[in-house]
Structure 1
């Protein structure tokens, strides 16, 4: 998912990614020392952060900036860990590596957006024809331009609600949206490994980072089918090597993992408990755009994908029995976020994964 946005450069999700363990690494003379400043951080950090206290020694200004970013967004990464049952250090590692090691100050394209540089459309220097066709799709109304990216695949595999290309780019451009997609992709990576009879890797940040950088979900699935059942996994690409060497840095930023025992979502959306507070009153309306979704509207209105059940609960009569099927042009009532109690917000978040059980 990571990727230099002006080919070539680090490109992930390739069929044959560069791997330091497969003999493709060129040995070169050590470069001359360079001065590292806090500006030596990739564009997606979005802001400049005040230094945070740390017991780690020897951090350069860029690393101090990324550490401060991790501290500021620790709660979002911890929430994603709980929701998708994947090690928070893997999520943080993918983001931190992209900020520090794949530095892009002025992106020329939207090949990837947001923290973790999740790919929005296909780009692979080893497949120029397929890459060119992907670029053409961006300009023509011939379907979703995100074909063959893990961002689209993770929707197709049922981990996140399906989005139009435009909505997906908009969601990934937000910090919470990027973290959500990264965690969902890593959950799919772990689940595919388990489905093929391999060891559970959801608490292995090195392997999660390796696959996140090196493959799409479908190429990962194909690799697992070709792999000897029961054999072990090994790392070896730039992201996972960095993650393995910086576990202490990542834990200082987001804490140690606290994986839940079960991540099974509610089968179907339950009724909001009456005891959780009075029914909110709508204060505005929105008109559903073509290819929009309740989660995209919830992100725009409430700043969270997971609060879509609030909108659905208030508009069931207009939407119907399936929250995934919202007709363009439908007028939806929106209640202010402040009108919901803490219990109602907690209920919405608990119900958020239930969308996948509607057909």
Structure 2
């Protein structure tokens, strides 16, 4: 982005507009890649000329290359913002961070190109279709190809994650941590998405769908819906919703928002977990709202308000990987914490888990791994 009011030799980035530009570019590259594959399959099925599909793929590769360059610049700007280093140009239109055109590095020797797939859980395998920007940690060492691929996926979904985090006033890093841990540490190769919408979640124990692996028939998702954080849905509807990336993000954010609200209500003045990423991931991975309410009630009864000590695998991973989370999303991106949305409880008694729902089926998906008792 050039300076809008004068110097033709100035090259820089205005934030957060540059973040939005990079996110949309990454998303466009992914969608074009997806379109090329879908188009080839459809044309091949019809036994007609498939040459348009490779042309779309070539366009996708061009956009991917541009995205990689933009992401490299984005990493630099974020580092400059964090450290205060780098030249700034302040104008009435905002602050521009100077980025020389020669700042784009060559690929790191020995680093596999984006076409080499890394081992990720099936629900995030499409991160292999996104460019890897060769991101660096604050100490200058590179993230692993697997981490870089997941960071690209998070960048492509940045707007959705931040919007849902803002809605419930929670840290966007907590959503990213849940998705990243499930993708890199809890690797599954079974394409359950093929069964979405069949109601398999009522038959298969621990059936989960989408980024973050939300369990479609656990008590937690029923509690979230019955308390009005999301519309009531039958299991088969949840499966179809959770098959989409945006759906999973929406469910994860609502779950973490509900835990935060329970904590505000039951432990006001003692705990606030809205930006406590390890605690949000601890609860997401292994509890439900009623278990957490009971745990807080026990603490109140014994007047035991000691420090919360998250210890499950996802929470511990979040503590160890702060550099990854900082590269993914800001922990607290707003100057003033937003007012969380107010849940609207649906009328009537709670819907049985497997009953049909009259709610139109959106495009979404999530919920945690086995129960954890505090």
Instruction: Bin the TM-score by the shorter chain.
Output: 0.5 to 0.7
Question: In the alignment, is residue 245 of structure 1 matched against residue 320 of structure 2?
Answer: yes
CA distance in 2, matches of 1:217, 1:167: 22
Out of 202, 225, 237, the residue aligned to residue 297 of structure 2 is: 225
2:109 corresponds in structure 1 to none
Out of 180, 200, 222, the residue aligned to residue 250 of structure 2 is: 180
CA distance in 2, matches of 1:206, 1:67: 19
1:155 corresponds in structure 2 to 225
Q: Gaps (5+ residues) in structure 2? A: 1-111, 193-199, 202-206, 345-355, 366-374
Contact 1:38 1:61 in 2 (8 A): no
**Offset, 1:160:** 1.0
Judged with a 3 Å threshold, the aligned counterparts in structure 2 of structure 1 residues 63 and 265 are, in CA distance, closer, same or farther, namely closer
Question: In the alignment, is residue 39 of structure 1 matched against residue 118 of structure 2?
Answer: yes
Judged with a 3 Å threshold, the aligned counterparts in structure 2 of structure 1 residues 267 and 44 are, in CA distance, closer, same or farther, namely closer
2:284 corresponds in structure 1 to 212
Q: Secondary structure of the residue that 1:161 maps to in structure 2?
A: coil
2:209 corresponds in structure 1 to 113
2:159 corresponds in structure 1 to 75
1:170 corresponds in structure 2 to 240
Contact 2:166 2:340 in 1 (8 A): no
| Residues matched between the structures, number | 217
Judged with a 3 Å threshold, the aligned counterparts in structure 2 of structure 1 residues 167 and 267 are, in CA distance, closer, same or farther, namely closer
2:188 corresponds in structure 1 to 104
CA distance in 1, matches of 2:164, 2:251: 9
Contact 2:232 2:357 in 1 (8 A): no
**Offset, 1:86:** 0.7
Q: Secondary structure of the residue that 1:227 maps to in structure 2?
A: helix
1:19-58 → structure 2 map (5 Å cutoff): 38-47=117-126, 48=128, 49-56=130-137, 57-58=141-142
CA distance in 1, matches of 2:190, 2:144: 22
Judged with a 3 Å threshold, the aligned counterparts in structure 2 of structure 1 residues 264 and 121 are, in CA distance, closer, same or farther, namely closer
Contact 2:214 2:242 in 1 (8 A): yes
**Higher Cα Rg, which structure:** 2
TM-score (norm 2): 0.54
CA distance in 1, matches of 2:254, 2:159: 16
**Offset, 1:292:** 3.2
The CA RMSD measured in Å over matched residues stands at 2.6
CA distance in 1, matches of 2:170, 2:343: 21
Between Structure 1 and Structure 2, which shows a larger proportion of helix residues? 2
CA distance in 1, matches of 2:191, 2:262: 32
**Offset, 1:227:** 2.1
